[in-house]
Amino acid sequence: MKQLQLCIVIHNHQPTGNFDGVIEEAYRLAYLPFLEALEEQPHVRIALHNSGCLWEWLEARHPEYGRRVEALVASGRIELMGGGFFEPILPLWPERDRRGQIRRMSRFLRERFGVEPRGIWLAERVWEPHLASDLAAEGIEYLCLDDTQLLQVGVKDEDLRGYYLTEDSGAVVAVYPIQMRLRYEIPFAPPEQVIETLRASADPEPGTMRLFGDDGEKFGVWPGTHKLCYGEGWLRRFFDRLGQEGSWLSLALPSEHRMRTPPRGRIYLPAGSYREMTEWALPPDAQEIFSETSRFLRDSGRGDAEALLLKGGTFRNFLVRYAESNQMHKRCLLAHSRLDEAGDISEGLRDEIRDHLWRAQCNCAYWHGVFGGLYLPHLRDAIYREILTGEGKLDRAVRGSDRWAEAALYDYDGDGEREAILRSDRLELHVSPRCGGGVLELDDKVGGRNLVNTLTRRREAYHARFRKEESASDDGARTIHGRFETKEEGLDRFLRYDRGRRMGLSDRIFLTPPTIEDVTGEGGGLGCGARGGAYEADLATGDGWAEAILRGRFTLDSSGERGVAMSRTLRIHAGESRVDVICEIRSLAAMPLRFHFGLEWILNLLAGRAPDRFVLVDGVKPEDPHLAGTGAHPGAASVSLVDEWSGTRVDLSAEGAAAWFRGPLETVSLSETGAERVFQGTILTPVWEIDLGAGAAIRKRMSLAISHSGASSRSEGGPAA
């Protein structure tokens, strides 16, 4: 008689820094009603993984949820799975962090629920072979990976009805395949169709199984799924059908199945993830080729060849596709190395600091696919907040209340060029000579925020669809991998791509008087930064100050006869939240030179149209004062950004500037609820008129100062609205 065991694995997660209201809505729409439906169906048993980020929120806001889960665990109806506590992509981080995060989750489950997890939910199912050693060393016996990862090494679909063993250096773990077809059918196909899919896998062989594993948010949070699952009763009907098919279908927990059933063999898997992730990790052109080839093979009836041959990219490609992701990743590693090098601090404090740095490893802000991810400024802001909060505690432990300033020059981001780092008790600047002397980070330690938390506008593969499809109003439930809806009409008007990386303090050179569009557009103008030219950097320190001196050259035309030498000095001061900038421009030409010179800052206070965040020009609100507003201000001496919510104010002044220009930097990106325009920061550029005789030089000065009112600092408060 044919039979089948079904393992159901549910993974719930909310990222570090997500809005409290968003998590509350997910609890109301998905986490709670799913748990209620489970309680009502005593024959249903599942494996459950909640990330540590979510567990912390649930225990603080809805402790009754944990008590109800505890009862189901005690009755044998829920198996709790481990994982990296703060949901990191484990292969991205050093072994101490990989194992430490797994150990942290196991300790939490042991102390809170009295269970020792035997399985792990791997964040985004990102696998690399060396993980087997880490998992086995931490007592993990099994994990779930997508069936596509096994198909890619030649395993056939009919051989995916059980688990395999893999090893690294002799350390063994079991691998359960997650069936992709079930991921796409549950809960979007009728329960009867899902049952037939399962029936097709039934087999007389004892221990035959299929495993469904996916996000719990698809049962209520994804568009249309709350109505489908609970309003229309999909989940109840599905659970009912599982009970009605008891003659051939049974529900099993993964750990039980593994104990009772031998493995189907040994397997070795290359680095990978689920199919969609490997596609998103590719550059846009490669994504298009991948998609076209996939369609061709399916249409040709060679779906087996598609699964075997199309492997896509690895997760680490995101660190290449997005320099901002790489910056956060290497910044977190840098902070952890400082902790490792710290001297005599208590183990309790060391653990507290490490927890902040582990929170900064939460995966969501490091990548982008159909979810907003990296494109969401508040998630990136939370990563920096955790890093800066941890570093702040370390600085206070090591340096006390001393005022100090220092400078360093070394390559920490892996690009082969040394970055200039200026640090003080109140500020930290990361300057890239390679990127035209731009500021990669302006860390306000008091407020716990990187003020240059912006994102370059890039082409994404899905941008082509904006011109092919109109916004859909259908509120039905469909898997998000097949949805394409827009939250705003005419989004294609905002599809702009920057010529170079956008950051702070990029030089802009214009041969004619610039317009707002010239200054706030795709990064126009000449200059070392705009042309991708590099500066050379030197450092200097003194009593209570540190500075970086950057020098570069560029030409105003292709002949090379109208050359200019640029020297830029950035100085910070102990005990002050101020950056002073001095630019010296020297003519290398034998003729007079006339042009317009600008220094572009891009600062992000997160909310482009919030009433409690606005711009002041010479201390007065201009027309359209929003941070996402646009304006040209001839003769203005200063521009300020004010954030009343966090009590932060940034004042910029430019000596003798002919005009200030401002405008928003906005991206168009995809999220699970539709395509949207996202505010990534305010472009602020003072422009000077330059008139140089042959061999002459001129100096221009500007400063940036940060102040805080009595409002809570960002390191202590919640995310902005």
Active site residues: 124, 215
Closest alpha carbon to 49 in 21, 101, 84, 76: 84
- CB under 8 Å to 189, separation ≥6 — which residues? 197
Enter the tokens of residue 177: 């395949």
* CA–CA gap between residue 720 and residue 562 (Å, rounded): 47
Which 3 state secondary structure label does DSSP give 335?
helix
From the number of C-beta atoms within 10 Å of its C-beta (0-12, 13-18, 19+), residue 17 rates as: buried
**How many CB atoms within 10 Å of residue 412?**
16
Amino acid letter for position 123: A
Q: How far apart, in Å, are the Cα atoms of 642 and each of 197, 576, 651, 709, 716? A: 57, 18, 9, 11, 19
* CA–CA gap between residue 308 and residue 304 (Å, rounded): 6
Asked if 576 and 485 count as a contact pair (C-beta separation under 8 A), the reply is no
Asked if 612 and 644 count as a contact pair (C-beta separation under 8 A), the reply is yes
**How many CB atoms within 10 Å of residue 697?**
13
Amino acid letter for position 493: R
Asked if 579 and 548 count as a contact pair (C-beta separation under 8 A), the reply is no
* Kind and range of the H or E run holding 309: helix 303-309
Amino acid letter for position 546: A
- Enumerate the β-bridge partners of residue 567: 551, 584
From the number of C-beta atoms within 10 Å of its C-beta (0-12, 13-18, 19+), residue 559 rates as: exposed
Give, as one character, the DSSP assignment of residue 487.
S
Closest alpha carbon to 458 in 507, 502, 414: 502
Q: What is the sign of the dihedral through the CA atoms of 184, 190, 194 and 199?
A: negative
Q: Distance between alpha carbon 425 and the CA centroid of its chain, in Å?
A: 28
